Amino acid sequence: WAGTGVSLSLQSSMLGVWFELPYETDGLHSLFSVGESNAYVSFNGTTGKLSPSLEMERSTTPDGEVFFCASDARCDDPTILGGLTTNLRTIISTRNPTLVEHKLIPSHGRIANSEQIFRFIDFPLLQACFQAAGTTDWVSTGVSVGRREVPGGGIASLLVNDVQYGDAAVVPYRADGTEIRYVTKNGVAYTLNHVFKIVQPSDDCTAAIDIPARAEKDIRITTNGAGLLDVPQLDKLFGDQALAGLPLAYKLCYQFDPIDAWADTNIRISWQNAASGIRVNDKANTAQEVRVALPRIAGTILSYYVPSPLTLSAGDSVSLISPQGDCTSTPDNPFSITATASGHITVSAADGVIDSSSAVSVLFPFVYQLCIKPVSTGLWTATSLRVEVLTRSILLPSLSGPLSPSRAGAPLPQITASLVSETRLEAVNYYTGSSLTASLFRCSSPCGSMPYGLASCSAPCSDWRPANGSLGGGEAPLLDGVAVFSSVVVGGSAGRFYL
């Protein structure tokens, strides 16, 4: 063995940088487009996704400062530090860690004026340097930020099922439920006036697309006022078999106001039929086969399929990578497995079944896109199919009546628990034949022993202790992701309980 002269160190101050997709990707090698106004960082704690419904108070104490420089520079280089300006360096205000749903959310914050910071940077690849509050040392973080080429017009990027594209987007052919979101430049507000359409590649944006098999022309795609293109209209357009014989790449045009002229987004949309959907445990669920949430449960079967009349072939290769990554890029889509990419997986049979033991069980809980290399072409292609690897599924309970107060030994109202994904709260309905088990805890202090007639206690409990011996009916079969507890009973003496 010989020394390399290369040393490695670990830092735990700054965990990642995100643009427009906070906490859905690993944050270790993010991409930014000039015009995107939101950048996020995460500090300390354990990385994890944030529920979109969480609201946390911003701390008044800065967590530190950050600047970005060329990837081959040193963060402590005095020539770089001496040239820092307000455009390249910013104070980061964090939000306090908050205990929500019994899990600790890491401290995180938005980089102030991030749009201005990245507008002046012209490097293809940057590294993040960090200085903790109260210190004078700048340290390298191992977090890189790449620059995405920005299309012309008022659109910074498209998100197809949360897979991000800057110039050439891909849509799965004949896949119902595909969502396309657009990110405006420079913080332009979303309104219902925003309208899109596709035209032939050689036409200008005033033209109307001509689908020979359909009488209607000049098909407009409306939006919901919040950056989402109308899903039923997209299903109708992308699922039309008449499009199969037309050019593969279409020009996407937009109009922000009825009085505006139609303009080119400089983003092209193509259809791919290498994979139209993903199924978990062979469970058909048309509305969600373009976006699946996959708990890390042993024995889970992950598979993809192609639209009829196409058929699958043995020998295809697939991979799961970041939704900001490029399926054709070796750094983004590496051959071997990493913590945030599955590596190339060979599909041994003509059934589309992926070895999920290697693809899912070892991946960190983030959102991924499915890449595929059909044996017929030998070329990697994006599919815009989204796979969310879950740390766990969230249970959303609903009650048929008030849960408290209740008399000891009396049946509680029926409790229905639904499994949903963490980022989108969509149903995880792939599991049938297993069951959910409830646990009961009793408050020991204060108000642990409640005298007869005392219906409630306003003081918060400081000591919850297991009390499953007092619980009856605490197990329910799981059917299509839903469990119904219809005979839950809490016995024993009166007290405060937590189910």
Give the sign of the dihedral formed by CA 296, CA 298, CA 300, CA 302. Answer: positive
**Residues 400 and 300 occupy one common structural domain:** no
Cβ–Cβ under 8 Å, residues 494 and 450: yes
Predicted local distance difference test score (pLDDT) of residue 105: 36
Cβ–Cβ under 8 Å, residues 157 and 36: yes
Cβ–Cβ under 8 Å, residues 354 and 347: yes
Do the domain assignments include residue 5?
Answer: no
**Residues 447 and 359 occupy one common structural domain:** no
Radius of gyration of the chain from Cα atoms?
26
Phi, psi of 245 (to 5 degrees): -90, 0
Domain count, the chain: 4
Domain that holds residue 376: 280-390
Domain end position, chosen among 113, 147, 181: 147
**Residues 439 and 344 occupy one common structural domain:** no
**Residues 450 and 354 occupy one common structural domain:** no
**Residues 191 and 114 occupy one common structural domain:** no
**Amino acid in the structure at residue 193:** N
Strands 29-32 and 39-43, sheet pairing: unpaired
Q: State how far the Cα of 189 lies from the Cα of 185, in Å rounded to an integer.
A: 9
Whole-number Cα distances in Å, 6 to 9, 78, 338: 10, 22, 21
In order, the DSSP letters of 204-260 are -TTS----TT-S--S--EEB-SSSBB-HHHHHHHHT-GGGGGS-SEEEEEEESSTTS
Predicted local distance difference test score (pLDDT) of residue 191: 92
Burial 177-208 (b: 16+ CB within 10 A, else e): bbbbbbbbbeeeebeeebbbbbbeeeeebebe
386-426 pLDDT, tens per residue?
988 876 566 667 777 766 666 777 888 888 888 777 667 77
Residue 405: helix, strand or coil by DSSP?
A: coil
Cβ–Cβ under 8 Å, residues 488 and 411: yes
Q: State how far the Cα of 266 lies from the Cα of 251, in Å rounded to an integer.
A: 7
**Residues 316 and 349 occupy one common structural domain:** yes
Identify the bridge partners of residue 158 per DSSP, sorted by sequence position.
Answer: 165, 182
Q: State how far the Cα of 454 lies from the Cα of 277, in Å rounded to an integer.
A: 56
Predicted local distance difference test score (pLDDT) of residue 142: 87
Secondary structure percentages of the chain, helix, strand, coil, to 5: 5, 40, 55
Do the domain assignments include residue 349?
Answer: yes
**Residues 254 and 346 occupy one common structural domain:** no
Predicted local distance difference test score (pLDDT) of residue 93: 42
259: how many CB neighbours lie within 10 A of its CB?
7
Phi, psi of 116 (to 5 degrees): -70, -35
**Residues 297 and 196 occupy one common structural domain:** no
Q: State how far the Cα of 384 lies from the Cα of 248, in Å rounded to an integer.
A: 16
Do the domain assignments include residue 7?
Answer: no
Domain end position, chosen among 363, 390, 417: 390
* CATH code where residue 238 lies: 2.60.40
Whole-number Cα distances in Å, 155 to 19, 75, 186: 15, 33, 9
Which parts of the chain register pLDDT below 50?
44-61, 86-108, 247, 452-454
**Residues 320 and 403 occupy one common structural domain:** no
Q: State how far the Cα of 65 lies from the Cα of 137, in Å rounded to an integer.
A: 11
Q: State how far the Cα of 384 lies from the Cα of 277, in Å rounded to an integer.
A: 9
Residue 187: helix, strand or coil by DSSP?
A: helix
**Residues 159 and 129 occupy one common structural domain:** no
Do the domain assignments include residue 251?
Answer: yes
**Residues 95 and 187 occupy one common structural domain:** no
**Residues 453 and 469 occupy one common structural domain:** yes
Domain end position, chosen among 390, 413, 448: 390
Do the domain assignments include residue 8?
Answer: no
42-65 pLDDT, tens per residue?
654 333 332 232 233 333 445 667
Residue 395: closest CA among 481, 331, 298: 481
Predicted local distance difference test score (pLDDT) of residue 452: 47
In order, the DSSP letters of 116-149 are HHHHT---SEEEEEEEETT----EEEEEEEEEPP
Q: State how far the Cα of 392 lies from the Cα of 387, in Å rounded to an integer.
A: 14
Burial 443-457 (b: 16+ CB within 10 A, else e): bbeebbebeeeeeee
Peptide bond into 405 cis (omega under 30): yes
DSSP state at residue 412: P
Write out the two tokens for 47. 């990385």
Do the domain assignments include residue 1?
Answer: no
Do the domain assignments include residue 427?
Answer: yes
Do the domain assignments include residue 289?
Answer: yes
